[in-house]
């Protein structure tokens, strides 16, 4: 049984990942969001804001085999309405939070025979999309971090990959999918004619944590209904 740490397990993709991964692994979940459904999962849950919390308050296993960093943001505004604080906040959530937990757990990950780190980007880091300047900038940094760490940590047999979704049906995207009309319009923007769901992203995260992906590192894996690579 592997020891897997999942940040942002309270809802959305992080919760879906915890739900799947906890079936066969020991999961330590950290989230600022408390979800009553978490109580039904076989995980060790800690309510904490990863950016401001003290990670030394949590006793992590000596060996950590996998780390998933799932927090994210959807901050869509015209560029001239984005403040420098918008850019800073998105960068902190998407990049610095990941940096903080990776640095904290690096000694534990190095003790694993085959460790895996899974981060999250977005299709907007690959495909230019209006109103995405802030989130695209921070998620592009996640992709750079993924590739750099994959190179640096390969000698320790620590794999680092990122999943790049398009619009996914989660709480984070609820306002973008709040009506049947919005959902239909969003679906039609994708070659496969629908938005994604959290379970599809979680299944990929589970794969990247497993030995089935043992020769995969430094990859940005698009799960986006074809949006990033297919033009109809």
The predicted pLDDT at position 36 comes to: 82
CATH of domain 3-168+197-223: 3.40.50.720
Query: Greatest CA span in the chain, whole angstroms?
Result: 51
Number of H helices, E strands in the chain: 6, 9
Q: What is the mean pLDDT of the chain?
A: 94
pLDDT tens per residue, range 134-190: 999 999 999 999 999 999 999 999 999 999 999 888 877 667 777 888 888 877 888
CA distance 136 to 129: 9
Q: Give me the mean pLDDT over the 196-222 stretch.
A: 97
Q: Give me the mean pLDDT over the 39-45 stretch.
A: 91
With beta carbons less than 8 A apart as the criterion, state whether 125 and 136 touch. Answer: yes
CA distance 122 to 203: 17
CA distance 57 to 40: 24
Q: Is 39 helix (H, G, I), strand (E, B) or coil?
A: helix
pLDDT tens per residue, range 55-68: 999 999 999 999 99
The predicted pLDDT at position 174 comes to: 67
The predicted pLDDT at position 173 comes to: 65
CA distance 160 to 162: 7
Question: Would you kindly state where each structural domain of the chain is located, as residue ranges?
Answer: 3-168+197-223
Residues above pLDDT 70, as percent of the chain? 98
Q: What are phi and psi of 161, to 5 degrees?
A: -140, 160
The predicted pLDDT at position 232 comes to: 78
Q: Give me the mean pLDDT over the 23-43 stretch.
A: 92
The predicted pLDDT at position 188 comes to: 85
Residues above pLDDT 90, as percent of the chain? 82
pLDDT tens per residue, range 58-103: 999 999 999 999 999 889 999 999 999 999 999 999 999 999 999 9
Q: Give me the mean pLDDT over the 12-24 stretch.
A: 96
The predicted pLDDT at position 168 comes to: 87
The predicted pLDDT at position 175 comes to: 77
């Amino acid at each position: 049984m592997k020891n897997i740490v999942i940040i942002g397990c309270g809802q959305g993709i992080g919760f879906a990942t915890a739900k799947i991964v906890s079936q066969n692994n020991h999961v330590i979940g950290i989230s600022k969001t408390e979800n009553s459904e978490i109580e039904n999962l076989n995980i060790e849950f800690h309510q904490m804001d990863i950016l401001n919390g003290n990670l030394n308050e949590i006793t992590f296993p000596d060996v950590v085999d996998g780390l998933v960093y799932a927090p994210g943001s959807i901050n869509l505004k015209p560029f001239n309405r984005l403040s420098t604080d918008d850019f800073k906040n998105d960068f902190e959530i998407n990049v610095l939070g990941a940096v903080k937990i990776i640095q904290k757990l690096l000694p534990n990950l190095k003790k694993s025979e085959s460790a895996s780190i899974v981060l999250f980007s977005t299709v907007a880091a690959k495909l230019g999309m209006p109103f995405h300047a802030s989130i695209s900038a921070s998620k592009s940094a996640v992709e750079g971090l993924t590739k750099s760490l994959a190179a640096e940590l390969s000698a320790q047999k620590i794999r680092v990959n990122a999943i790049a979704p398009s619009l996914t049906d989660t709480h984070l995207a609820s306002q973008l999918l709040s009506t049947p009309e919005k959902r239909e319009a969003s679906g039609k923007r994708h070659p496969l004619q629908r938005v994604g769901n959290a379970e599809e992203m979680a299944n990929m995260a589970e794969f990247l944590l497993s030995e089935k992906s043992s020769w995969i590192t430094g990859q940005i894996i698009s799960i986006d209904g074809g949006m990033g690579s297919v033009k109809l």
